[in-house]
Amino acid sequence: MLGASKELCGIRRLAHFTFVKDQPDPSLGQTKEMNLCQAIQNAMDLTLANDHTAIVFGEDVAFGGVFRCTVDLRQKYGADRVFNTPLSEQGIVGFGIGTAVSGATTIAEIQFADYIFPAYDQIVNEAAKYRYRSGNLFDCGRLTIRAPWGAVGHGALYHSQSPEAQFLHTPGIKVVIPRSAIQAKGLLLSCIKDNNPCIFFEPKILYRSAKEDVPIKDYTIPLSKAEVLIEGTDITMVTWGTQVHVLREVIQMVAKENISCELIDLRTIVPWDVDTVCKSVVKTGKLLISHEAPITGGVGAEIAATVMKECFLNLEAPIERVCGYDVHPIPHTFEAFYIPSKWRCFDGVKRLMNY
């Protein structure tokens, strides 16, 4: 009995997904194995090298940051371009808006997405509205805010949140979440080059585990463009970040029951790619949306409402959302129960098919 419980404990401590590598686009040339963290570092490295106006700052970034995403940048580009800030999130973002509006390519790091809330006012009222309220005279499009995001296995209430939905309601900013190292580099470079303020959330559980061959040159992946990762005919699955890997496994599980799923990585959460999602739902007639954040008022709700309007006559079953529960994400001991695991997603598939 004790042995069994120990074993269960052992299983519980493991990651709730298996990372699946992507193949790099051969047209992008030479590659190097990098994890997600190194890919992010590489994107910033290229930016600092190619754009002399670029600056990187945040709490402890000078010596590499808590997750080592900015390691070596200070030595390479100097303390005037890569520097530490005081612990002051509202100040960091406000300062970043200031540098961006006056012409610097600004990459600001908020140490955890959970700490972004003191800066919420600056993002929503200053960054997002700047262009609009000044009649396009000023904008802070050169601002990119990076923040580690999502469940990490043991982060508890202040280090596990996925606040993308908090920004869904704010026109004027873009929110991007990558699923892998190749994606992270291309999407981050897009965010940096995009002429709108962008929030780039990095799934911190993937920092080390998402290792793949990343092209070493400067490349971008278009924003607001979802990617169809697996084609299928019975169910459309929409997700982003870590959850992509959970759903990949679910798709393998249900394939044994001869259910064919189409997997879409949304990548840009705001503004999101309605066309790709709807086109897929028209084909399959069923939609499952999955995200780590609590279900009520989550990004899934917005997607469901839009798809319901656009594809009403194509839908064959009520849209299924498999998400976090409406409790505070994420209770320390209950992370394994909280997350929309493969089993809960599997159950969602069953309900869609049996409707």
Partner 1 sequence: MRQIQVELESVIMNSYTKLLAILQPNTSRRILLQRRDAFHSNTVKSPINISGSSAVNTKQQSRFSSTDSSSKTLDYEAKNAYKLHLLEEGPKTNVSCNREEGLEFYKKMQVVRRMEASANNMYKSKLIRGFCHLYSGQEAVCVGMRAAMDKSDSLITAYRAHGWSYMMGVSVTGVLAELTGRKSGCAEGKGGSMHMYAPNFYGGNGIVGAQVPLGAGVAFAHKYRGEPNICVALYGDGAANQGQVFEAYNMAKLWALPCIFVCENNGYGMGTSAARASANPHFYTRCEYIPGIWVDGMDVLAVREATRFAKEWCVSGKGPMIMEMATYRYFGHSMSDPGTSYRTREEIQDVRKSRDPITSFREKVIQAGLASDEEFKTIDNEVKKIVEDAENHAQNDPELHVDEMYSHVYSNPPKNYMIRGCDSFTYKEATK
Query: What positions carry a catalytic annotation?
Result: 89, 159
Smallest distance, partner 1 to C-beta of residue 194, A: 29
Among residues 18, 72, 76, 88, the one that binds partner 1 under rule CB under 8 A: 88
Binding segment (CB under 8 A) for partner 1, from list 21-29, 58-66, 184-192, 224-232? 58-66
Smallest distance, partner 1 to C-beta of residue 160, A: 9
Binding segment (CB under 8 A) for partner 1, from list 62-70, 97-105, 162-170, 226-234? 62-70
Residue in 343, 337, 38 with CA at minimum distance from that of residue 215: 38
Among residues 25, 125, 332, 355, the one that binds partner 1 under rule CB under 8 A: 332
Q: How many residues bind partner 1 (CB under 8 A)?
A: 47
Cis omega (within 30 of 0) on the bond before 330? Answer: yes
Window 89-148: residues binding partner 1 (CB under 8 A): 90-91, 114-115, 117-118
Alpha-carbon dihedral sign for residues 21, 22, 26, 31: negative
355 belongs to the binding site for partner 1 (CB under 8 A): no
Smallest distance, partner 1 to C-beta of residue 79, A: 8
Q: Which residue's CB is nearer to partner 1, number 43 or number 110? A: 110
- Rounded alpha-carbon distances, angstroms, from residue 1 to 10, 11, 240: 14, 15, 39
Instruction: State the DSSP code for 135.
Output: T
Name the token pair of 45: 């490295």
Binding segment (CB under 8 A) for partner 1, from list 135-143, 256-264, 273-281, 346-354? 346-354
Name the token pair of 110: 């908020």
Name the token pair of 322: 């498999």
Binding segment (CB under 8 A) for partner 1, from list 16-24, 101-109, 171-179, 342-350? 342-350
Smallest distance, partner 1 to C-beta of residue 269, A: 19
66 belongs to the binding site for partner 1 (CB under 8 A): yes
Window 147-186: residues binding partner 1 (CB under 8 A): 152-159
Element (H, E) at 212: strand 211-215
Smallest distance, partner 1 to C-beta of residue 13, A: 7
Among residues 296, 305, 318, 355, the one that binds partner 1 under rule CB under 8 A: 296
Instruction: State the DSSP code for 94.
Output: H
User: 3-state class of 282 per DSSP?
Assistant: helix
Element (H, E) at 149: strand 143-149
Q: Are 211 and 181 in contact (CB under 8 A)?
A: yes
Query: With left for phi above 0 and alpha for psi between -120 and 50, is residue 110 left, alpha or beta?
Result: beta
Angle subtended by helix axes 299-310 and 274-284, to nearest 10: 60
Among residues 6, 13, 52, 217, the one that binds partner 1 under rule CB under 8 A: 13
Binding segment (CB under 8 A) for partner 1, from list 129-137, 188-196, 302-310, 328-336? 328-336
d(Cα 192, Cα 106) in Å, to the nearest integer? 8
Q: Which residue's CB is nearer to partner 1, number 62 or number 223? A: 62
| Residue whose structure tokens are 């992946």 | 221
3-state helix, strand, coil in the chain (%, to 5): 45, 20, 40
Task: Provide the binding-site residues for partner 1, judged by CB under 8 A.
Answer: 13, 59-60, 62-64, 66, 79, 84-88, 90-91, 114-115, 117-118, 152-159, 295-296, 321-323, 325-328, 331-334, 337-338, 340, 344, 347-348, 351
